[in-house]
């Protein structure tokens, strides 16, 4: 089930009786940590066009969570799984008991029954991201390396130049936060929309246009 052979086949009113995905939790660790707390982020990037089963995604999440929980503590990281399994896998179930040759229909009516779900991923797609403090960099990279063994194919571990799960490079982020253009909003940042009364505007009060 590793290769993308057919068209995407998702759960719908026509494709019923699909078993639940094995991965139910996509964010683990200290997911409510403020955006300023965890500047370091590393990604696991897929290097092949393939399918990854929900079982593999869950196994990877558990492995990374276990390693980081042991070495850096539950409150010092945030893992986000970025690949979601929607593609339904089918199998033409065969009877394998004795005397099955008289009962089984071989390749007659061979359209399979749903047996699980997987994520269809592309080259360069981010499978998961982990944010933490800079001092835990080597633990984060080792944890992702261990999680990598749960997947088929090749993956690369990338250290990001951005600040946490934001889209801003580090220097730019610090500068924009100081100037008040960006405001922390939980584990994300909000961009100042330059609207509203001037006396309430953080930008105007700090002397910016």
Quick: pLDDT tens for 22-70. 999 999 999 999 999 999 999 999 999 999 999 999 999 999 999 999 9
- How far is the C-alpha of 85 from the C-alpha of 126, rounded, in Å? 14
Q: Is 52 helix (H, G, I), strand (E, B) or coil?
A: strand
Closest-CA residue to 153 (of 51, 6, 64, 5): 51
Which candidate, 130, 124, 145, places its Cα nearest to that of 45?
124
In this prediction, residue 97 carries a pLDDT of: 67
pLDDT digits (tens, 9 = 90+) for 89-130: 999 887 776 566 666 777 888 899 999 999 999 999 999 999
Specify the pLDDT at position 180: 84
Cβ neighbour number for residue 142 with a 10 Å cutoff: 15
Q: Which residues contact 58 (CB under 8 A, 6 or more apart)?
A: 22, 23
The predicted model scores a pTM of 0.90
pLDDT surpassing 90 at residue 196: no
pLDDT digits (tens, 9 = 90+) for 125-152: 999 999 999 999 999 999 999 999 999 9
Least confident of 4-8, 116-120, 147-151, 203-207: 203-207
Backbone angles phi, psi at 183, to 5 degrees: -120, 135
């Amino acid at each position: 089930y590793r290769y993308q052979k057919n068209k995407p086949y998702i759960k719908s009113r026509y494709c019923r009786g699909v078993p639940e995905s094995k991965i139910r939790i996509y964010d683990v660790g200290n997911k409510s940590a403020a955006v300023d707390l965890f500047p370091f982020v590393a990604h696991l990037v897929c290097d092949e066009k393939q399918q990854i089963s929900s079982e593999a995604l869950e196994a990877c999440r558990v492995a990374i969570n276990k390693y980081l929980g042991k070495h850096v503590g539950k409150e010092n990281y945030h893992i986000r799984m970025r690949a979601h399994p929607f593609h339904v896998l089918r199998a033409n179930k065969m009877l394998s008991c004795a005397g099955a040759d008289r009962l089984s229909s071989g390749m007659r009516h061979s359209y399979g029954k749903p047996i699980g779900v997987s994520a269809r991923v592309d080259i360069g797609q981010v499978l998961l991201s982990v944010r933490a403090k800079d001092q835990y960099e080597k633990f984060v990279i080792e944890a992702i390396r261990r999680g990598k063994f749960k997947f088929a194919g090749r993956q690369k571990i990338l250290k990001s130049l951005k600040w946490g799960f934001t889209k801003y490079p580090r220097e730019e982020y610090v500068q924009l936060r100081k100037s008040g253009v960006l405001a922390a909003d939980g584990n994300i940042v909000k961009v100042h929309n330059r609207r509203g009364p001037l006396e309430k505007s953080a930008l105007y009060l700090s002397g910016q246009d």
